[in-house]
Amino acid sequence: MNDLGVTVKKDEDFAEWYIQVVLKSNLLDYAPIKGFIVLKPYGYAIWERIREVADKRFKESGHQNAFLPTLIPESLLSKEAEHFEGFKPEVFWVTHAGNDELGERLALRPTSETLAYEIFSRWIRSYRDLPLKINFWNTALRAEIKSTKPLIRTSEFLWQEGHTVHASKEEAEDEARLMLSIYKEIIEEYLAIPVIAGYKSDKEKFVGADYTLTLEALMPDGRALQMGTSHNLGQNFSRPFNIKFLGKDGKEHYAWQTSWGISWRLIGALVMIHGDDKGLVLPPRIAPIQIVVVPIFYGDDSKHSVIDKCKNVYALLRDRFRVHLDDREEYTPGYKFNDWELKGVPLRVEIGPRDVKQGKVVLARRDDSRKVSVGDEELLDAVTNMLEDIQHSLYRRAYEFLKSHTFSTLTYDEFKEHIEHGFVRAYWCGSQECELRIKEETGADIRVIPFTDDSINDTDMLKEGGMMKKEQVRDGDEGDTRCIYCRRSAGKIAYFAKAY
């Protein structure tokens, strides 16, 4: 079993543990080109679940899906200069079709702003055509020069990119904020991962955006991971792409825009945060298989009645849960237990001859390995409650980790100590110079400048223990609110961390 299971401990070699888990649990495999991966059916099923949940939210909030080609002419990609400079180093270029050299190079979509907006400009004439709210489920291609990591950084990734056009600045601001809150809900309530919401610094924002909103999570090795971003593009693209509309006032105006995205990186975060030494641990609301039913019998005497009961239990659960009956004959129950634990299925139903006789089943939780025996008549309720409990317990555990690894400090010495272990919350003067110096000296970026209103962030966490109170770094620190680096007066509180 050793070569099938995970052979390193999560807290001993986190990087190796991660690779073993994603490969051995059958989430994915390497592709024959360096930096590219293949999602196997089990990994893709998780992506399908995320897509299903997100797609429903997008449609409920008035967005529609559409399709754009993979290729963007260079002249179009370069139309917004800053944007082009940002993506240029990692663009894959098509130069030939068959044996013919193309007249103009074609970029493989690193993101679709330029292509979408050239097209949107033809669709929009008047305020009646607004808002335009479109989403694309596709892949983005960016040649990764840094070292890659499956699901976290690869040269092609599955994602969705939303693109909206509005008649007013306020509407675009509301949209950017709304999409961030939808992402937050999906990530916290389905993936059971707590995140901190706020702004990116100008240095870290999307190239071409007025500002970028972000959700940041903390991985077990103390490094931050960007989970989703929502960009307010202002009129930065509507001007070069000539997206104008005739307003109710009878005049022409440039439109206001947003774009936003989440990717399969969320699956990587899921693995890192909830996984353990046995493998994946999936939150019930996102797990492709929530419950696996495993028959246990020795010899042929009990086989028939055990299998029968398993089939009945499967049939009972099937309407309400994503359940799988593992009736493979060529594997032992022990092998199956390990296999489904590696794959992170939240709940296992074990049924043996004694359970048949006594009218019971055994429920085994993946998250804490507890087992309970319940009577057949309680099964449905017990399973329902237990799945909910696993969901919440995974979130609580991740939340406790985030809380205990988010440090507040007023001194740069403490900063340098804490930054090795998680988020450091500190005052920052707002200058890019300090930001760059801190990055050089510690390797840490500003991950997020938290919202100062509580509408999006978890108020519990912001308030609890005074540690993360929104307006101040520490209780009673009104006397020392100077920049952690330059000691000038600070306008902002920022979360720093080393990042993936």
Interface with a second copy (CB under 8 A): 29, 31-33, 36-41, 43-45, 47-48, 64-71, 73, 76, 88-99, 105-106, 108, 115, 118-119, 122-123, 128, 134, 139, 141, 143, 145, 156, 158, 330
* Closest to 283 measured CA to CA, from 225, 366, 197: 366
Q: What are the backbone dihedrals phi and psi of residue 62, each rounded to the nearest 5 degrees, phi first?
A: 85, 15
Q: What are the backbone dihedrals phi and psi of residue 323, each rounded to the nearest 5 degrees, phi first?
A: -120, 145
**Residues sharing a CB contact under 8 Å with residue 163, sequence separation 6 or more, in sequence order:** 112, 113, 116, 117, 120, 134, 135, 136, 257, 258, 259
Name which of 61 and 65 has its Cβ closer to a second copy: 65
Shortest spacing between CB 285 and a second copy, in angstroms: 20
* Closest to 10 measured CA to CA, from 226, 271, 195: 271
Shortest spacing between CB 59 and a second copy, in angstroms: 10
Q: Indicate the length of the chain as a whole number.
A: 500
Shortest spacing between CB 435 and a second copy, in angstroms: 25
Name which of 66 and 372 has its Cβ closer to a second copy: 66
Name which of 89 and 479 has its Cβ closer to a second copy: 89
In angstroms, the CA 107 to CA 68 distance is 13
The answer to whether residues 375 and 359 touch, using CB atoms and an 8 Å cutoff, is: yes
Name which of 66 and 436 has its Cβ closer to a second copy: 66
Shortest spacing between CB 131 and a second copy, in angstroms: 13
Name which of 137 and 399 has its Cβ closer to a second copy: 137
Name which of 114 and 230 has its Cβ closer to a second copy: 114
Encoded tokens for 324: 């799988």
In angstroms, the CA 463 to CA 71 distance is 48
Shortest spacing between CB 67 and a second copy, in angstroms: 4
Name which of 67 and 147 has its Cβ closer to a second copy: 67
**Residues sharing a CB contact under 8 Å with residue 240, sequence separation 6 or more, in sequence order:** 79, 80
Q: What angle do CA 486, 430, 500 make, to 5 degrees?
A: 95
Name which of 118 and 355 has its Cβ closer to a second copy: 118
Strand, helix or coil at 255?
A: coil
The answer to whether residues 107 and 74 touch, using CB atoms and an 8 Å cutoff, is: yes
* CA 162 to chain CA centroid, nearest Å: 15
Name which of 159 and 496 has its Cβ closer to a second copy: 159
**Residues sharing a CB contact under 8 Å with residue 425, sequence separation 6 or more, in sequence order:** 406, 407, 408, 409, 468, 473, 493, 494, 495, 496
In angstroms, the CA 441 to CA 286 distance is 39
Shortest spacing between CB 433 and a second copy, in angstroms: 28
CB neighbour class for 174 (10 Å; exposed up to 12, middle 13-18, buried from 19): middle
Shortest spacing between CB 358 and a second copy, in angstroms: 34
In angstroms, the CA 75 to CA 89 distance is 16
Shortest spacing between CB 96 and a second copy, in angstroms: 4
**Residues sharing a CB contact under 8 Å with residue 210, sequence separation 6 or more, in sequence order:** 231, 232, 233, 234, 236
Name which of 43 and 295 has its Cβ closer to a second copy: 43
Shortest spacing between CB 101 and a second copy, in angstroms: 10
Name which of 44 and 211 has its Cβ closer to a second copy: 44
Shortest spacing between CB 263 and a second copy, in angstroms: 12
In angstroms, the CA 228 to CA 217 distance is 10
The answer to whether residues 424 and 407 touch, using CB atoms and an 8 Å cutoff, is: yes
CA pseudo-torsion sign 313, 319, 320, 321:
positive
In angstroms, the CA 454 to CA 469 distance is 10
Shortest spacing between CB 164 and a second copy, in angstroms: 13
Residue 200 is classified by DSSP as P
Shortest spacing between CB 92 and a second copy, in angstroms: 5
Name which of 96 and 251 has its Cβ closer to a second copy: 96
